[in-house]
Amino acid sequence: MISHPKRHLRQFPAIKIGRLAVCESTKKERKGIGRALVNFVINLALEQNSNCACQLITVDAYSQSLNFYTKLGFKFLSDSDKGDDTRQMYLDLRPLMNTAYDISA
């Protein structure tokens, strides 16, 4: 459950990144393709908010990818999966939605 200032909700409108990978040679050259793919998903989610709600982007991140997602602003859903092969992470889109709204106003 993710806390909310006024209530606890069991469900949130979200997009889940199922599989995200870049080839080893690209990863070594650090071309930013992984970051570009996640940014594409973020922009897509923000654009879709005019048609349907999307508050979070979630991912079950492999341990070797935790730093990558953390640098992009993702947070751990809980500590119950600490030490597992994958950890559930999320990116709250509300601050980005508020910023986009402030810029367009």
Query: CA-CA distance, 43 to 25, in Å (whole number)?
Result: 26
The number of residues making up the chain comes to 105
Residue 25 is predicted with a pLDDT of 75
Q: Indicate whether 101 pLDDT > 70.
A: no
pTM: predicted TM-score of the whole model, two decimal places? 0.76
Q: Count other C-beta atoms under 10 Å from residue 20's C-beta.
A: 15
Residue 14, by phi and psi: left (phi above 0), alpha (psi -120 to 50) or beta?
beta
CB 61 within 8 A of CB 38: no
Query: Over pLDDT 70: what percentage of the chain?
Result: 79
3-state class of 9 per DSSP? Answer: strand
Higher pLDDT, 30 or 2: 30
Tokens linked to 48: 């879709």
Residue 13: pLDDT band by 50, 70, 90 thresholds? confident
